[in-house]
Amino acid sequence: MANNYKQGGTSMLITIAYRNIWRNMRRTLFCFTAVGIAVLFIVVYSSMIGGMIQSINETVQTYELGHVRVVSSQYEAESEYMPVQYPVAEGKNWKELAESIGKIPGVRAVLPRITTMATLQDSTLKHAILFGIDIEDEMAANYFNLTSRDDGLLEGNWPAPGANECAVGRVFAQKAGLSIGDRIMFKTISAQFSEKFLRPQITAIFNFDYIKIDEQYIVMDIQRLENLLALDEGTQSLVIYVDNEKKSRAIASEVRNLLGDKNVVTDWQDNYWVAVMKMVGPVYTLVFLVLLIVASFLIINTVVMIIHERIKEIGMMGCLGMTRAEIVKVFFFESIFMAAFGALAGVVIGGIITGILANYPLRFMEQFGSQFSQMPMSNSIFFQFSPFILLRAWLMGVVIASIFTLIPSLKSAFVEPVEALRR
């Protein structure tokens, strides 16, 4: 037997370890279950967090900053008031600016936007936000409903260019009792600080599945809003979309050099919530590690019990010529097998669950809206099915469990063969 072992080397140790884990099926299954549940939790929770991060990123890019946003420095200082008297590169035609920016390699679209406050007249709702966009170009560049991946139009037609028309969100229309064909009167303040009254006709009702916009925003054609606010050929902001979002910082730097210091150029990755979610990632990883360590204690206890029960067997191994290091390897390989098979089971089940949930959105804001109302996040969260998440969870399960079972495996090295055979 000793000669056969020496011929087999490490491969023989692995074979012995693999056979040993099936000697007590109940104990082995307990270890599989402990690690498997921990890894299953990691897969599902990582997929949910990944979906939340993706939703925040898409929401920020779609409705707030694009990939890069340009505003004047005066606007940035007073942005909470949504002022319209500080256009981008004041005195210049925004179309000429957009054309210059569009020549930068990697830029896909440059779109003007206006966002300002409005006070409603003769309505149960008192305040709203006017959202002026180039509707045709915006719809070509984005999916405004991030759940169904379409323009979000429920009924009617989007306002025509330059027309005294508007679109309101589904929630807004319900609260105000409005429908297609009704008119809504509001007051706003122009760039010349004069009061402007308008009574546009509602031609569309939309559902962007983003509660902030669905219940507060009035969408208008930007030409009509520019005229109303006396912006002439200026615009409040320019939103830039790029071909590769990972290169947005480099393009933001080029835009900054092009427009000068009087304008503020913001990369989407600098958004507060995007930055927060990046920082939260390591925290969740730490939580996962703690969970795996707890699960590993069952394997640690199992290895200790195995060593105690097989004390004579360890002595026999020593008498047959196995070194202490080789005996340790046998028990360590057993631990690795238990961790690997348990983690694999958790990954398979977790992958099936997240693969199914990736097609059925979690109506997150409907259930937890009051707690997360300030976060720029779509109402529907899709779990993120990713081979990377599955591989990372499996590796975490195997590595952590194996590391923490190395110490009890070393205990077998201190068993003296002669003393072991006497027991």
User: Cβ-count burial of 103 within 10 angstroms (0-12 exposed, 13-18 middle, 19+ buried)?
Assistant: exposed
What is the pLDDT at residue 11?
Answer: 84
Query: Is-contact 77 268, C-beta < 8 A?
Result: no
pLDDT tens for each residue of 373-408: 567 888 888 898 989 999 988 988 888 877 777 777
Q: What is the mean pLDDT of residues 100-128?
A: 92
**Mean pLDDT rounded to a whole number for the chain:** 85
> Are the C-beta atoms of residues 327 and 318 closer than 8 Å to each other?
yes
pLDDT at res. 5: 46
Q: Does the structure show a pLDDT above 60 at 2?
A: no
Query: What is the distance between the alpha carbons of residues 379 and 419, in angstroms, rounded to a whole number?
Result: 67
Residue 324 vs residue 46, higher pLDDT: 46
Nearest to 422 by CA among 310, 315, 308, 305: 315
* pTM (predicted TM-score): 0.81
- The pLDDT score that the predictor gives to residue 7 is 47
Asked whether the predicted pLDDT for residue 419 surpasses 80, the reply is no
Residue 128 has pLDDT above 50, yes or no: yes
Token pair of 261, please? Answer: 């210091």
Q: Are strands 68-72 and 237-242 parallel, antiparallel or unpaired?
A: antiparallel
SS (H, E, C) 145-205: ECCCCECCEEEECCCCCCCCEEEEEHHHHHHHCCCCCCECEEEEECCCCCEEEECCEEEEE
| Cβ contact 362:420 at 8 Å | no
In this model, does residue 260 exceed pLDDT 50?
Answer: yes
Residue 22 is given by DSSP the state: T
- Per residue in 236-256, pLDDT (tens digit) is 999 999 999 999 999 999 999
The pLDDT of residue 416: 64
Amino acid at 389: I
Could you tell me which of 385, 391, 382, 381 has the C-alpha nearest to residue 352?
A: 385
pLDDT on residue 214: 92
Q: Helix (H) and strand (E) counts for the chain?
A: 15, 13
Q: Report pLDDT digits (tens) over 167-226.
A: 999 999 999 999 999 999 999 999 999 999 999 999 999 999 888 899 999 999 999 999
Taking alpha carbons only, the member of 159, 184, 164 closest to residue 173 is: 184
